[in-house]
Amino acid sequence: MVARSLAFVVFGCLASCEKLSSVEEKLVGSWEARVASDSSTIFTFEPNHTDWAVVHFHEDTWLDGTGRWHVQGSEIVYDDVKYPEVAAEVAANDPSLANRPHHYTATFDLIGADTLKLDGITLKRTKRPSKPSNPAPFSP
């Protein structure tokens, strides 16, 4: 009886796992956005619908956000986004850095094998980075 109950629990857990859509399958992996010559951001979308972003700026590299993602229509939806803590003096000078959204969307302009365009920004598929452990330069 216990074995049968356990089998039902395992089956229920497996059945409730969220399957990736064909668009989501294309997104899984790491994508680099270069908006300036001295900086880049790499977004990594995991198959379990978690995501994280690594920023390279001048000589600094830090984990800039983690959260959850999914595709809804022609948008990628970011949920439960957590950012590095912002030092009080930095927040006073740049309140937008301390008040970034925890939920937002970006519209797909293009989804290719190696190119992704979101809200007019082009990202290129890249090698998966390691998650940095050092704090953001604006953290206390």
CA 4 to chain centre: 39
| Rounded average pLDDT over 87-94 | 96
Q: Quick one: which of 48, 78, 73, 53 has its CA closest to 63?
A: 53
What residue segments make up the domains of the chain, in order of their start?
20-126
pTM: 0.84
DSSP state of 133: -
- Work out the average pLDDT over 89-108: 96
Model pLDDT for residues 12-71, shown as the tens digit of each residue: 444 445 799 999 999 999 999 998 889 999 999 999 999 999 999 998 999 999 999 999
pLDDT band at 8 (very low <50, low <70, confident <90, very high): very low
Architecture of domain 20-126: Beta Barrel (2.40)
CA pair distance 43, 76, nearest whole angstrom: 12
**Cβ contact 61:134 at 8 Å:** yes
Radius of gyration for the chain, computed over Cα atoms and rounded to the nearest angstrom: 18
Name the nearest CA neighbour of 65 among 48, 42, 49, 87: 42
How many Å apart are CA 98 and CA 90, to the nearest integer? Answer: 8
Residue 25's pLDDT is: 96
